Each structure stands twice: as C-alpha cells, then as structure tokens.
Structure 1
Amino acid sequence: MKQIVKCFPGGKHKVLTMSYDDGREADRRLVGIFNQYGIKGTFHLNSGLLGAGDRIGADEIASLYAGHEVSAHTVTHPTIARSPKEALVHEIMEDRKALERLTGYTVRGMSYPNGSYSPAIMDLLPHLGIEYARTVHSTKTFGFPNRWHEWNPTCHHNHDVLEIGKAFAELHKRQYLYMMYVWGHSYEFNDRNNWDVIERFCEFIGGRDDIWYATNIEIYDYLQACDRLQFSAACDFVYNPSAMSVWLSVGGDIVEAKGGARTTLE
C-alpha cells in the first residue's frame, strides 16, 4: 500500500495566517501590505465600536476586508471571563449578527477580547456558532491546536517575527504539516513607529510556492474537510463528501480529491 498523507491545497505542506484585533484605522495600511504580498489575514472586530474614534466604520468593512476574513471579537470588548453567561451570549451573538449583515457571510470564529477566556466559555462557544477562538498565548512553534477554541498563535509581530519567519521558511520535511500564525493589533505599528517590521516580514515570506496563505476559517474548514474524507478499506479510492477539494500525497504523488467525488488512489 502506498503511503497516503493529507496536504494543503496544491500539495503544499506549510500554511501562514495573520490575525489582527479591534479594527482600527491602521488596518487600512496593514491590509494594503497583505494584499501587496499575497498574504491573507483574519480581522476580529467589535461591532458595537465600529466608527468610534479611529476605528473603521461599518460602511467600509466589506470593501476593506475583501479577500480576508472578518471575525468576531464581541460587541463591546469586555473581559468575558468576568461576564455573566447571559452577557456573554449577547456579546457574541449580536457581534455575529452585525458583522454578518455587513459582510454577507457567516462569522464563525473569534479572538478573545483582552485575552480573557475559561474552560466554561470554550465549552459554550460551539453552541453559539463559533468554530474557533484565538488566544494571546504565543507558542513560538508551528503546530496546530489541540482544541480549536484554544487556538494559540505562533507569535506576536513584535516578538522576533522575522527570525521566526526565517525558521518557518526553512522547514522542508514534507512528511509534516506546519503552520505559522502571527497576531497583533495594527495600531501597534503606529505606536512603536515600526511598520518596517511587518513590511519586511511580508516581503520575505510572501509569494512562496510551498506556503498556503489562508485565513483562520479557511484553515479550520480545510482540515475539517480532510477529516471527513471516506477512504476505502484498501485505501485504493477515497470519497470526498465536502464541497471543497482536498489534496493528498499518495506515494509521493499529489492527488486532488475533488468535492462530492470518488477519486482513485492506485
């Protein structure tokens, strides 16, 4: 039997994702940098604060973040581990409703405001339609979450992001899958006057053939589709019940298992 392992789209073995909170006006410049280098980001927004101070207004959300992901961050950014469950449900569901009206698609992820969460909150989130939630606990590693509602990033952009990016770029063992996940707030570049950090990082890491550039929800959905594949007992064919394609390495050859189709693996 040939060795069969899952790959990222196109047979890639690495994925990069970026995650930014609060929807401040500096997102405009950050999105421009991402677009220039073909990098995708997830932007976690507080719908109740849109247009306040230097925050992006509601009328700009759909156009500014086109091609990226808009994700929840609660309506008003409370420390949710201190909030009653009734308030938590309101903060998340009303944020989803407002952002979905603005974007036209379902909002299924979030980042924890103030980095605040608890086991009870993680258990509640699936019942509120939240598939993943990002923490602020950097791992400095390139692995995947054991629990999607406790998704720890690789690093903050102010914490050796270019050095970590160089290590990520050098990963070459294709028997593994790797993820680099960078998080932060775009206004921090203004505060520290260090836009060169993200510009140099994106210029260095963008446009590589062995990296898939994806949003948070795209990674989640793709790996869920991988897990739904239905292999024959002999592993000589596979049925993909999902709508999206999934890529496999079959004895070293890259095979696309198209959505809703049976694919021969011999």
Structure 2
Amino acid sequence: MKYNRIFHCFPGGKHKVLTMSYDDGKREDRALVKIFNAHGIRGTFNLNAGLIPSDADRIPLEEIAGLYKGHEVASHTLTHPTIGRCDLAHVARQILDDREMLEKATGRPVRGLAYPNGSFTPEIEEMLPALGIRYGRVVETTGTFALPNNPYEWKGTCHHNGNLLEKCEEFLSLKKTQYLYAMYVWGHSYEFSDAGNWDVMEKFCAAAGGKSDIWYATNIEIIDWQDTMRRLQFAADGSFVYNPSSSDAWLSVDGETVRVVGGSLVRL
C-alpha cells in the first residue's frame, strides 16, 4: 500500500503567509495603506467606531470602505476601554455596537477583534464566539513565525519597532517547504509620525512584497483558511480527500501542488 506525503499549503501552494494588524484608525492609516497597496501587502485595521465622530485625527466613517478596500476592518471595541476591568454585559455591548457601526460603514461582516490595551479575561474569550468574533489579537509577540493555536489569544511575530527589518530578512530566508510559516506584524500607524521612521515600513514592504512563495492575507483570511483545512476529510490510506467547505483547499502531495475545490472529492 502506498502512502502519499501530504502537507497542508496556503492558497496557491505557498508555504509562507504575511499579515499586518494596525489599531485605532488614525489619519496616518492613509499613508500606511498607500504603502501596503503599492507592494501588495494586505492586513487588518482595528477600529473604534464610537470615537470617530469626536476625533478629527481618526479616519471618518464615510471614508472607511474606500480606504480599507482589499484589507480587513475589525473591531477594537466601541470606545477602547480596558475590557478586562469591565463587566461582561458592558464588554458585549462594546463589541456588538462597534461591529454594527463598522458593518454599516463597510457593508461587510466584522469578525475579528484586537483587544484594547491587550486586555481580556478567560470569561471574555469564552464569550467572543457568541458575539460573532472569530479571533482576538493580544499585544504580546513571539518573535517566531508560528500560526495561532488559539485564535482568541493570537500573538504576533513582532511590533514594527521590534527589529522589523531583521525579522523580515529571517522570514524571507525560510525555504523549507515542509513547514508553514506566518509573519504577523502589528502596531499603530501614528507611531511612525511620532518616531519619524516611516522609512522602516517603506523598506519592509519593498523587501517583503511581490514574493512568489508568500501569501499576502488579512487576519480573518488566515482563520478561515485554518477552518477549511481542519474540515478536510481524508481516506485512511491517503488515496483521496473530500473538501466539505465552500472554500478551496491546497495540498502538497508528493511534492506536487493539488487544489481541492470546495465541495469536491479529489483522488491523490
């Protein structure tokens, strides 16, 4: 009996993914999105819809859909409280009201969350699926290129002030296709103005963009990809696979890239 060497792949058969996550929706996001778009970088912008009307430094609600087109808009709670100190009913309202305002502005579901000030509790984490939230990003970083084991405690690779260019060089050098690698960068766009170091992000995106072995994804796309791959149903001997999801899945089978279209059964 022949057993195939079967590995999960990112879309297109790629083995690396890059994603970005930026908080607060300040006016500097305009310059950041422009840099991302110029190099094909994609990411997630976590917004506090309740603070927008009273803060001229934030991206207006009517501009959100156009500015962040091709990226993900996620929740950062309505007014950015330290939610680990709040009662659960208040936390739920903070998230649901933020979702409602952002969804009206974008016309798309809001399914992600960046914890304000990195604050959360086990009780908040347990509640998030019932609020329509599929992941929560914390502020701690790992310095590594691992996918999240727990999407509700998603730790990035680094903040953009954390040796970003050195981390980029390390990420680009990863060539072993039997592994999957994820680089996750987070921060606040206004920090570039405060520090006068926009050149760091420009150099990073120029170096990291346009690579054939990298999937450029939003946070929620990575979570959806994980869900699709976990639902795959393989024959005991590895001779076929059924994909019950509507999304396509990608595999490496004996070194060859195989696309498993949603709803299809494929012989391997």
TM class, shorter-length: over 0.9
Shift of 1:194: 0.4
Q: How does 1:118-197 map to 2 (within 5 A)?
A: 118-197=121-200
Q: Distance in 2 between matches of 1:21 and 1:79?
A: 15
Q: 1:89 matched to which residue of 2? A: 92
TM-score by length of 2: 0.97
RMSD between aligned residues? 0.8
Q: 1:46 matched to which residue of 2? A: 48
Q: 2:120 matched to which residue of 1? A: 117
TM-score by length of 1: 0.98
Shift of 1:243: 1.3
Task: Find out whether 1:33 has 2:32 as its counterpart.
Answer: no
Task: Find out whether 1:246 has 2:249 as its counterpart.
Answer: yes
- SS of 2:183's equivalent in the other structure is strand
- SS of 2:175's equivalent in the other structure is coil
Q: 1:70 matched to which residue of 2? A: 73
Q: Distance in 2 between matches of 1:72 and 1:218?
A: 15
Question: Alignment identity in percent?
Answer: 57
- SS of 1:90's equivalent in the other structure is helix
Q: Distance in 1 between matches of 2:59 and 2:250?
A: 37
Match of 2:235 among 226, 232, 242: 232
Q: 1:55 matched to which residue of 2? A: 58
| Residue identity in the other structure for 1:207 | G
Which ranges of structure 2 fall in alignment gaps of 5 or more residues? none
Q: Distance in 1 between matches of 2:245 and 2:190?
A: 38
Please list the CA deviations of residues 65-119 of structure 1 after superposition, one character each: whole Å capped at 9, or x if unmatched: 0000000000000000001111101000111111111111111111000111111
Q: Distance in 1 between matches of 2:149 and 2:226?
A: 13
Shift of 1:53: 2.5
- SS of 1:88's equivalent in the other structure is helix
- SS of 2:140's equivalent in the other structure is coil
Q: Distance in 2 between matches of 1:3 and 1:240?
A: 18
Q: Distance in 2 between matches of 1:118 and 1:176?
A: 32
Q: 1:17 matched to which residue of 2? A: 19
Shift of 1:233: 2.2
Give 4+ residue runs of structure 1 displaced > 2 Å after superposition.
none
Q: Distance in 2 between matches of 1:102 and 1:243?
A: 27
Q: Distance in 1 between matches of 2:60 and 2:139?
A: 25
| Residue identity in the other structure for 1:165 | C
Shift of 1:213: 0.3
Please list the CA deviations of residues 41-64 of structure 1 after superposition, one character each: whole Å capped at 9, or x if unmatched: 100000101241200000001000
Q: Distance in 2 between matches of 1:127 and 1:58?
A: 26
| Residue identity in the other structure for 1:201 | F
